[in-house]
Structure 1
Amino acid sequence: MVQRQIPRPAEILELAKFKKPELNGRRRRLDKALTIHDLRAIAKRRTPRAVFDYTDGAAEGELSLARARQAFEDVEFHPSILRSVPEVDTGTTVFGGPSALPFGIAPTGFTRLMQAEGETAGAGAAGAAGIPFTLSTLGTASIETVKAANPHGRNWFQLYVMRDREISYGLVRRAADAGFDTLFFTVDTPVAGARLRDKRNGFSIPPQLTPATVLNTLPRPWWWWDFLTTPKLEFASLTSTGGTVGELLDSAMDPSIGLDDLRIIRGMWPGRLVVKGVQTVEDSKKLAGLGVDGIVLSNHGGRQLDRAPVPFHLLPKVVREVGKDMEIAIDTGIMHGADIVAAVALGARFTLVGRAYLYGLMAGGREGVDRAVHILSDQIVRTMKLLQVSSLEELTPRHVTQLSRTTPLLG
């Protein structure tokens, strides 16, 4: 028999503790976001389709992006037991300086298109979190503006070697003068990839008003209000070079860049030089002897060559070949802090997040970026504690197995 009693008022009152309601709509939305996928869902609701698809999409059939994300999901962890881990240290050093977390914000173009605060939100959030921020050549905030938004943090610059080489050289000098400490020499964009979502949406830079975009934007008037009442969307670091947005974008893609360009930039740049967009073991070995300080294994977020190698699958092989010679970072497909932990365990010194940061930006501006960083940070700490490691240095390949759904056929 179950014993029953009449509930006492005092006991009922103990249960009736209601949380104070959050009146700020943005904060209320962001507080409900527990994962990067939650931020993506908010971003999709609040951003015009063409803009969201520009951020969310990839090249052609989007196989490279899907495979990159699947590779992280196909990780099996191997935790230790009976190890005391009341606290974990997520700090690391990368490219000559510190980072409070093993990830930084990747370079993204047209960032103010996604949300009006753009790169200043990302740089400010990065500075507050103690992680690096990377500005793209095609960024919509200037080198100097990013420095002002993140005056005491680490700022990195991602360089496209443009057809007019003097434009690129000028950007290198400006980034050095502004105290940026690392330069990403980007090698995976000889031409633009075919981003079919953009073509189907009739997407253009800057956005044009068409009947379809007007209809899609009607439920999202705040986006157009922000777009129309803030400074003109342009490549902020390139405004003095002349040309329309389309002309500058076309000039940024140059299939003629080669080793001589790398040598020239190496001679100009006083800080750490990192080659971004490496996709083979052979090229990693070649770069190890050319005076670069590091590489980023990347297929440009799946936005260039579809069916490109998955960076996370490539990572262990590259670490074995050149890990003692230079630092290796990785991007593409990262949506969870456990993805970052797995990459570090397999030898990556650092990781970069692009879309994950942009989903936060679209969901809530600077506060949304802060939320994205907080989500990833919490996931990293929790994963490390569950693996029972107290620092990133304790992570090793024995903690991770890469399960694979695609294995090359031997001819």
Structure 2
Amino acid sequence: MRFKKPQLNATRRRLDAALTIEDLRAIARRRTPRAAFDYTDGAAEEELSIERARQAFRDIEFHPAILRDVSKVDTSCAILGGRSQLPFGIAPTGFTRMMQTEGEYAGARAAGSAGIPFSLSTMGTASIEDVKSANPHGRNWFQLYMWKDRDRSMALVERAAKAGYDTMLVTVDVPVAGARLRDKRNGMSIPPALTAKTVLNALPRPQWWIDFLTTEPLAFASLDRWSGTVAELLDTMFDPTVTFEDLAWIKEQWPGKLVVKGIQTVADAKAVTDLGVDGIVLSNHGGRQLDRAPIPFHLLPSVVSEVGEDTEILIDTGIMSGADIVASVALGARFTLIGRAYLYGLMAGGEAGVRRAIEILSDQIERTMRLLGVTSLDELTPEHVTQLERLTPRAR
């Protein structure tokens, strides 16, 4: 018996104690004011979509093979014309420096170190060029919302191409903003509006406020300054008239790989694939748009069957563990994207927290693969996973 060597670095001590993404979420909740945490953690309406998406991953059964040599495991994969050391990348997220002041810079640096792609949102709080500087040798992807002002949209596309971003994610599920009720109740606005309730909630979290008030002022790097709620910004800015013809036009403007994010039906997966896009992301926007939307993980096998030979299929929404990622790959996804999982790490400890989130997921992926008896992602098949039924449609 011996005493454990003390860890004097408080951040390192806190992060070392986190063994799961849920642990990072608990730390993030303690350290972040409610409005910022709820913006990350919350979803639309009654938040049924995100609950169901997470439950779908819990409701799986793995089928391991025994007596296989799994002393060496390869977690790398090819995705959209390049390599990734892990079968996941960091999803585009908006308002990121509100959650923790290192924001996109922390995510980009951590992604670059891990050898995985980093995605910058149109609503990001770091510029296209600054993210490239933070991750100069890694893979950077840019996420585009089509604005009513098409010239401004295309200006962003040109900047991303010039900066060397290799993939563009066109998000298509935001004709209007979803009803994110936590944000409305918290008075979430840009810039943040201080109220007596906000100040009281912040008192136990002085470090967050010190960082927030002594670093670069918060703003969307791709926008002019805005005074209003996030939902009001979305409704003012985003174009509800975008059609498949517009998507085809965007594809002509972009020199790299083009992926359509927000696919929620087999028919739409087929339609955009027929346009010749390089990939699709099965996503309901993390449950933040239409509540009771389809569950991407449930949709995955049908989409793979329909278009899996013709385009690369990615998936997000509800991923909270490496086992979720392995199950997705087994059922035919080429790649996955993590949003909240990375943001919980960011709020828990800045760049070190993002690195910890990646480390947790990486360890879980490798361990799950070994326990399944596979040594590479290519060996995963639908035979390794059964989706157990909880919500089943009634006969019409």
Instruction: Quote the residue 1:307 is aligned against.
Output: 292
Structure 2 CA distance for aligned equivalents of residues 198 and 331 of structure 1: 22
1:193 and 2:178 equivalent? yes
Instruction: Quote the residue 2:193 is aligned against.
Output: 208
Q: Secondary structure at the match of 1:238?
A: coil
* Among candidates 94, 100, 112, match of residue 85 of structure 2: 100
* Residue identity opposite 2:289 in structure 1: Q
Instruction: Quote the residue 1:377 is aligned against.
Output: 362
1:51 and 2:53 equivalent? no
Write the mapping of 1:75-114 to structure 2, written as runs, cut at 5 A. Answer: 75-114=60-99
* Residue identity opposite 2:119 in structure 1: T
Contact 2:177/2:234 (8 A) holds in 1: no
Structure 2 CA distance for aligned equivalents of residues 389 and 290 of structure 1: 35
Judge which range, 268-277 or 221-230, deviates more: 221-230
* Residue identity opposite 1:407 in structure 2: T
Instruction: Quote the residue 2:130 is aligned against.
Output: 145
Instruction: Quote the residue 2:144 is aligned against.
Output: 159
* Among candidates 315, 319, 342, match of residue 330 of structure 1: 315
Rg larger for:
1
Can you list the C-alpha shifts for 1:280-338, whole angstroms capped at 9, x where unaligned? 00011111110100100000000000000000000000000000000000000000000
Q: 1:248 deviation in Å?
A: 5.2
Instruction: Quote the residue 1:124 is aligned against.
Output: 109
Write the mapping of 1:252-291 to structure 2, written as runs, cut at 5 A. Answer: 252-291=237-276
* Residue identity opposite 2:23 in structure 1: D
Structure 2 segments unaligned to the other structure (5+ residues): none
Can you list the C-alpha shifts for 1:187-228, whole angstroms capped at 9, x where unaligned? 000000001111122222221110000000001111111111
Instruction: Quote the residue 1:403 is aligned against.
Output: 388
Structure 2 CA distance for aligned equivalents of residues 243 and 112 of structure 1: 16
Instruction: Quote the residue 1:340 is aligned against.
Output: 325
Instruction: Give runs of ≥4 in structure 1 deviating > 6 Å.
Output: none
Contact 1:95/1:182 (8 A) holds in 2: yes
Provide the aligned length of Structure 1 versus Structure 2: 394
Q: 1:18 deviation in Å?
A: 2.1
Contact 1:164/1:251 (8 A) holds in 2: no
Can you list the C-alpha shifts for 1:71-110, whole angstroms capped at 9, x where unaligned? 0000100000111110100000101110000000000000
1:35 and 2:20 equivalent? yes
Contact 1:162/1:251 (8 A) holds in 2: no
1:74 and 2:74 equivalent? no
Q: Secondary structure at the match of 2:222?
A: helix
Q: CA RMSD in A?
A: 1.1
Can you list the C-alpha shifts for 1:232-275, whole angstroms capped at 9, x where unaligned? 11111234xx7657675444322111122212211110000000
Structure 1 segments unaligned to the other structure (5+ residues): 1-14
Instruction: Quote the residue 1:11 is aligned against.
Output: none
Identity of aligned residues (%): 72
Structure 2 CA distance for aligned equivalents of residues 321 and 245 of structure 1: 42
